[in-house]
Amino acid sequence: MKLQFTEEQQMMRNMVRDFAKEHISPFIANMENGEFPREVLYKMGELGLMGIPIPEKYGGAEMDFMSYIIAIHEISKVSPTIGVILSVHTSVGTNPIVYFGTEEQKQRYVPKLASGEWLGAFCLTEPSAGSDAASLKTKAVKEGDYYRINGSKVFITNAGEADVYIVFASTDPSKGSKGVSAFIVEKGTPGLIFGKDEHKMGLHGSRTLQLSFEDMRIPAANLLGQEGEGFKIAMANLDVGRIGIAAQALGIAEGAYQHAVQYAKERIQFGKPIAMQQGIGFKLADMATAIEASRLLIYQAASLRAQGLPCSKQASMAKLFASKTAVEVTTEAIQVFGGYGYTKEYPVERYFRDAKVTEIYEGTSEIQRIVISKHL
């Protein structure tokens, strides 16, 4: 087992690091004030970052899956907000069309998504169907060449800004998860109504909207896959999505950790840097160890995925562990900074606020344990 990046992967890492320094860092304050990073995303599109694993045939960069994970990790070290926008856009906003779409659907949507001209979103969660995703209430009724969709969604990342929405609705409620179907919905479709943008604890530059569908008519040609195949489409793409969120969590942990190490080497108390005091040195050692363990779980899941092998269990393990690490490491990073860590003068409080949701979205930690335990 090789644990070294290829030349291509190293190039991706260096390119993303440079990009983050030059184009993302200066925009962090704007995002903290709620501004959506549209211009940054367009620039990322120009560099091929909005379609890293997407086939060239459909306008993507067709790079390996690990390069995609490296990009999310590096971006999230600087901006977890842009990390989640990218992960949702690619893993669950674009990939479902690449893997389950007809040739016509791929031609129409994927090039614009992969180039970053359009942004993608994934609409599964509902007010009464969160962890129990199969119990969704949104209904799609076929009427000739159209489906009429009614229902509502919550916590939809990228909504409002996104141009393409993968919407899950039941075409046969009597069949439970086997009655769920997936649809491609374009922004501007009459009946697609954007609701409240949630006022979140962190990830302030990202959008998290409520949506409702009021007699929204969708051409039957926008059914993704077959009727009743929607739940499997959701689950299969969430496997991949969860590796992306794990990489985002790793970026958050590492970002906070790097600031904590630097501060601990500079901050003098009791006549020497606090990094040299065992209480802080041990803290940093534990943080570094948990980060390395997360990294290895993520690389394992990503490597299985890159080879086209089943990766549900490993993806859930990676997300479970990396998100826990993000929460713990960001908490400890604040502790290393002491009182300064609790202020907005240093970035660790931002990482702390951004970390928590990685234990919630794309399946809570409890759901990851369900997925893992089903495989044991």
Separation CA 353–CA 175 (nearest Å)? 40
Which residue, 77 or 305, is less far from ligand CAA as judged by CB?
A: 305
Query: Among 58, 65, 122, 337, which residue sits at the site for ligand CAA (rule: CB under 6 A)?
Result: 122
Q: Residue 147, interface with ligand CAA (CB under 6 A)? A: no
Q: Residue 231, interface with ligand CAA (CB under 6 A)? A: yes
Query: Among 15, 47, 235, 306, which residue sits at the site for ligand CAA (rule: CB under 6 A)?
Result: 235
Which residue, 183 or 337, is less far from ligand CAA as judged by CB?
A: 183
Q: Residue 331, interface with ligand CAA (CB under 6 A)? A: no
Query: Which stretch, 31-39, 186-194, 269-277, 365-373, contacts ligand CAA (CB under 6 A)?
Result: 365-373
- Min dist. Cβ of residue 261 to ligand CAA (A): 29
Q: DSSP letters of 244-292?
A: HHHHHHHHHHHHHHHHHHHHHHH-EETTEEGGGSHHHHHHHHHHHHHHH
Which residue, 290 or 315, is less far from ligand CAA as judged by CB?
A: 315
- Min dist. Cβ of residue 211 to ligand CAA (A): 12
Residue 100 phi/psi, 5-degree rounding, is: -120, -5
Q: Residue 165, interface with ligand CAA (CB under 6 A)? A: no
Separation CA 138–CA 185 (nearest Å)? 14
Q: DSSP letters of 139-155?
A: EEEEETTEEEEEEEEEE
Q: Is the dihedral of CA 340, 327, 295, 347 positive or negative?
A: negative
Q: What number of CA atoms fall less than 13 Å from residue 39's CA on the CB side?
A: 8
Say if strands 120-123 and 164-170 run parallel, antiparallel, or are unpaired. parallel
- Min dist. Cβ of residue 178 to ligand CAA (A): 7
Known active-site residue 362: yes
Say if CB 133 and CB 126 are below 8 A apart: no
- Min dist. Cβ of residue 276 to ligand CAA (A): 40
> What residue has token string 């995002």?
31
Q: Which one, of 159, 168, 192, 165, lies nearest residue 85 by Cα?
A: 159
Q: Residue 363, interface with ligand CAA (CB under 6 A)? A: yes
Which residue, 92 or 297, is less far from ligand CAA as judged by CB?
A: 92
Say which of 254, 332, 349, 362 is annotated catalytic: 362
Provide the binding-site residues for ligand CAA, judged by CB under 6 A: 84, 88, 122, 124-125, 131-134, 155, 157, 177, 231-232, 235-236, 238-239, 312, 361-363, 367, 370-371
